[in-house]
Chains A and B, each alone.
Chain A
Amino acid sequence: MSVFEPAAKPRGRLRRALDAVDERMGISALQYPVPEHANNLSWSLGGLTAVSFLVLVVTGVYLAQFYHPMPESANQSVRDIVTTVWLGGVARGVHFWAAQAMYVLAALHLLRLFLHASYKRPREGNWLVGVAMFALITTAIFTGTVLKWDQEGFEALAHNVELAQLVGGAGLWFTSELARQVPILVRLNTAHAVIIPGLIAILLILHVLLVKRHTISPHPAIAPTGTEVDEPFTRHIRRVAAMGLVLMGILGVLAVLLPPEVGPTPVEGVEVTRPPWMFWWMFTLENLFGLSAILWGGAALFILLAIVPFADRGPERHWRKRKITIMVAGLILLTIIALTLAMALTPQASHL
């Protein structure tokens, strides 16, 4: 049967061509049923995160043609991208805002999954894949911040090098000890442009395959069988694509009206900037408890996220019936928000 319409209708040339492609590429495998409750924004946040990733890859490939990852010229090459490269400023702006969007959408996606207990059996593995992707997104934002090679980026790197030294051999990759003749900026560029997006792509494929394997998770407040009208996943993709168009439009508007700044060329031994907002809570911890607090604060968050499916294994999925889990998660979330706001209100301090 045709992928695109019931077999009874006469088949035009285009449809026959599409069916021929389907026969060889197995596109019809994407037509697995998606329940009605997933046809809205909150259940499409994962898809929108993937759209952001796609935008980041496209703009990143363009920016990589003009970025020079040597310390002597990295900052100047970013300035050149903004001031002299055709559409360079827009590409950089879209890249910057898509990174913010991807982080926010991934965080909201995790939150939605948590509230609906979508991590419960048999989806524990896919939750862990998602948490790993969230960690990679955070790392990508960190490496992207450093690549600008301005004062903010250099201070982020300086913190990271200090933290890497704290954990000894485990942090070797982040120190200059690994390859003494190669500037660490060059290796971070490789991580940002190849290693991290490559890993995200691999995990994304695994994530999508596992979603298909386990099907879209049930809604905790909807009876499990016979009450919903299923639609093929291809229809769901079409809806996500429409939302993605809106997202890309918003990113374009932000890139033009609120383009990101390129900071001053970096100087070692000076600490005058704040990190990107998603790291503020960690830096309030640093203000309170010292440099190592960044390490144990970040590690604690991701360990907590990873153990969620193993700590909350009860049968209940509705948030009202998971009071303890929701309360603990709420407390952690509030703490992070409070620490973030505290950073916004605290004057910059030297730590290194």
Chain B
Amino acid sequence: MNIAQAVVSRQVSRVLLALAAIALVLTSLPLAANADEPDESGKSHDLVLQAISFVVNTPGNQEMIAERIEDALEAPDKSGTDLTKVQQAGQALRAGDLRTARQLLQEAIGARGYTGVNAPAPIRETLPAPATGVQTETHVVLDPLTPSRIPDSGGIVVLTISGLAIAAGVLMLHGDRHRHTIRPRHGSSPGANR
């Protein structure tokens, strides 16, 4: 075996060792995995809120919305939820009127009717307890806020400044060119021993 072969062989063995170590990690970690699947909420209020979230996020997925409405009607804890309105929301959904369905679902849990993307806090008679842990504290599902892609006057100022920054940077780079005195020799490795 010459020197080059020995180097390659050593390299191969190290890579294989490294891969073996990774494989060990990969195979051992899933053994430790035992995620607890969270149970479906037993509260009508939470299920109605989830139904609204599906209306906002995936309005085309009516099956999921209808499923959550059904679950809300059958949930063991129906407190704080107007089931009549939930039923009406189900009927509106079946009739294809998603807007009315959403309105009714929001009213069913005491949330204000949807008035736009900036509609603020929900209607509540008492102050809520402060949020802890991973509580979302969402009572009204707001629509996504998609800022306009057409620049206003401020945007045009920012675009102008940005254009000037690009131009200045390019000019600086152009003025700061250095002489090319080196030509890399492809395939060689003269820096190997440094």
Instruction: Identify the A interface with B (CB < 8 A).
Output: 36-37, 39, 70-72, 75-76, 79, 82-83, 87, 89-90, 93, 149-151, 154, 157-158, 161-162, 165-167, 176, 180-185, 218-224, 227-229, 231, 235, 238-239, 241-253, 255-270, 272-273, 289-293, 295-296, 299-300, 303-304, 307, 310-318, 320-325, 328, 352
Contacts and interface: CB of A to CB of B under 8 A. Distances in A.
A184 B189 contact: no
B87 interface: no
Nearest to A270: B53
A89 B132 contact: no
Given A223-B190, A315-B7, A324-B15, A87 B154 contact: yes
B131 A72 contact: yes
Interface residues of B, number: 93
B159 to A, nearest CB: 5
Nearest to B40: A269
B134 A246 contact: no
A36 B160 CA distance: 34
B145 A83 contact: yes
A246 B30 contact: no
Contact of B147 (A241, A261, A320): A261
Interface of B: 7-8, 10-12, 14-15, 17-19, 21-22, 25-26, 29-30, 32-38, 40-41, 46-47, 49-50, 52-54, 56-58, 117-118, 120-121, 128, 130-138, 140-149, 151, 154-155, 158-159, 161-170, 172-173, 176, 178-182, 184-194
A166 B33 contact: yes
A56 B142 CA distance: 28
B141 A314 contact: no
14 contacts: A36-B180, A166-B33, A229-B181, A245-B172, A249-B163, A255-B158, A256-B151, A258-B149, A264-B57, A267-B141, A290-B33, A291-B35, A303-B21, A324-B8
A53 to B, nearest CB: 18
Contacts of B15: 311-312, 324-325, 328
B76 to A, nearest CB: 16
Contacts of B19: 328
A252 B141 contact: no
